[in-house]
Structure 1
Amino acid sequence: MLLPVFHLSVVALNVYAFTYDQLYLDIPFPSTIFSEMPFKARYVFLTIWCFILQTIYFCISFLNDIAGTNESSPKRTPFIRTIKDVLFSVAFPIALYVSVAFWSIYFIDKPLIFPDYIEAIFPAWLNHTLHTFITVFLIIELLVTKRNYPSRITGSAITMLFVVAYVIWMHVIHDRTGSWPYPIFDVLNLPLRFIFCGFSTILGLGIYVVGEKLNSLVTPVSKQYYTNGTSKKSKLK
């Protein structure tokens, strides 16, 4: 009974946070073109892509609570449970990357990621909802539910597709507006942007593997998949 309440509560918080942002926050952008974009141009940020992905995941999790199964290794896996498991394998590394990247840059050189003029109008609770709770909620989810990860090729490929799609989108935004979504890119030349994006991709892959390993530790009985697509059931002693 507690799982549906938890999943629905996360969805409710996320919907409230996004609604608050749309109704009450006007973030100044360096280009007036941003003001013409739908949803106050929030979709230019990786944070919002991650936030939407997490919200979709918890919506699917709630539906799985009602119409699917939370068994560690069901004999017949409902389709919605399969979607839930695959989404978690992507949502976890993306959320952890967003939290690590944001707070690391924040403490090293805050103006590059969260300038004072934005922080002054941005409620702390909303900042943590977008950059901290996204990881906290998924760690709780990791500990209290069971899942079967997809094969590493499948899961990592979907994760990298998500990352590459955003990198391309970020450059499209820059081409259209002449501005980057994040101030840090204003101080990076092309080689440094290449290095930054390459390092971020490698970090994302590393976090994906960490999530896969953590899942195998917290799930006593589960299907463990390998890169060749084969699987076997394993039981932790």
Structure 2
Amino acid sequence: MAKSKKQLREQHAAREAAQVTNARLETCNDAYTSGAFSYLRFLVHLLAAAQFCYGIYYYLFKLHWPQGLHEEEELKTRWGGKFKYLTFLDVIVQAIYHSVALLNDIFGNNTVTLAPKSCLRQMRDYIFATFAFPIAHNVCISFWVIYLWDRELIFPAALDAIFPSWLNHVVHTNVALLAIMDLFTCFRRYPSRLAGITGNVAFMLLYIIWVNIVRYFSGQWVYPLLEVLPVPLRCLMFGGLVGLSLACYLLGEFINHIVWAPEFKLLKQKQIKQD
């Protein structure tokens, strides 16, 4: 049976709309995967990976406690070492994330798509959404809030002679700033809410368990603030740590959808037309 003129017009209009959507996506991908934008993304990942890897090296091998400061030998051998600090674990997460992102820039792909096939791309997007962005902002916010309230509870003034200011900003400030820069330069589809939140909350709960293990074996809490808090407030602080991390996850997801809203709209239009 021959199609009516109305049906032919509708099919023609649909084809034209699909062609326009595809052309806009191709233009978007050309601008996003080549030229100045791709160089900026590569530079962010390169500088971030180098900075955090050097920060880990300096943190582990170049920080030396001066003689007589808080029983130097006891501080060096205390159970858990530097790995008991969320700050240090976060720098490791950031170094891993930006290294994976850098490898993806070189060997993977950065095309605007809802279903990336590259394993590097999938790993990059999940690590950023679940760990890198929320933990970086958790560390940055919680550290500077407590620092401004009473620095002796989290970063005593005596540490100024040991811990250089540039390293302090690398591990407590730059982690968040570079995560924001990455969010604006890398298109990504966030994982399902269940997968992302489960991974994020699991990480924080494991860290809280780790803090209590360190307390059990060393006899001291990781942070001076925990020493002065009564048990109910200590539990509240641990709950707040998980809650802040979850809030940072949702914030990252929200900002990602706002920043990349035009691209998501084009991809959804293309998907609807294909269906």
Under TM normalisation by the shorter chain, which class is it?
0.7 to 0.9
Give the superposition deviation at 1:74: 5.5
Deviating runs (4+, > 4 A) in structure 1? 27-34
Partner of 1:228: none
- Is 1:206 aligned with 2:244? no
Q: Is the 8 A contact 1:72 1:148 kept in 2?
A: no
Deviation digits for residues 183-224 of structure 1 (CA, Å, limit 9, x no counterpart): 11001122111111112212211111111010001113239x
In structure 1, the residue corresponding to 2:264 is in which secondary structure? strand
**1-structure distance, mates of 2:59, 2:109:** 34
Q: Indicate which of 38, 45, 50 corresponds to 2:85.
A: 45
Q: Does 1:189 align with 2:189?
A: no
Q: Does 1:177 align with 2:218?
A: yes
SS state at 2:268 partner: strand
Q: Would the aligned equivalents of 2:137 and 2:176 in 1 still touch at CA under 8 Å?
A: yes
Question: What are the Cα deviations for residues 95-114 of structure 1, in whole angstroms up to 9, with x where unaligned?
Answer: 00100000000000110000
RMSD: 2.3
Looking at structure 1, the residues matched to 74 and 212 of structure 2 have their Cα atoms a distance apart, in angstroms, of: 15
Instruction: Specify whether residues 30 and 86 from structure 1 end up closer, same or farther in structure 2 by C-alpha distance, changes over 3 A only.
Output: farther
Match of 2:32 in 1: none
Distance 2:205 2:47 in 1: 31
Measured after TM superposition, the shift of residue 80 of structure 1 is 1.1
SS in 2 for 1:233: helix
Partner amino acid, structure 2, of 1:99? C
Q: How far did 1:157 drift?
A: 0.7
Residues 32 and 77 of structure 1, relative CA distance in 2, 3 Å threshold: same
Instruction: Give the percent of matched residue pairs that are identical in Structure 1 and Structure 2.
Output: 35
Q: TM-score, normalised by structure 2?
A: 0.76
Q: Which residue of 2 aligns with 1:23?
A: 61
**Aligned counterpart in structure 2 of residue 11 of structure 1, from 20, 28, 49:** 49
Give the distance between the partners of 1:180 and 1:69, measured in 2 at CA: 44
Contact 1:95 1:135 in 2 (8 A): yes
Aligned match for 1:2, one of 30, 40, 50 = 40
Distance 1:31 1:178, change over 3 A: farther
- Equivalent residue number for residue 149 of structure 2: 108
Residues 23 and 159 of structure 1: CA distance in aligned 2, closer, same or farther (over 3 Å): same
Alignment CA distance shift 1:76-1:215 (3 Å) = closer
Query: Which structure: greater helix fraction?
Result: 2
Q: How far off is 1:20 after superposition?
A: 2.1
State the partner residue of 2:101: 61
Structure-1-length-normalised TM-score: 0.88
Runs of 5+ unmatched residues, structure 2:
1-38, 271-275
Match of 1:84 among 120, 124, 140: 124
More strand by share: 1
The separation in 1 between residues aligned to 2:115 and 2:242, in whole angstroms, is 35
Q: 1:233 aligned to 2:274?
A: no
The code of the aligned residue for 1:94 comes to: I
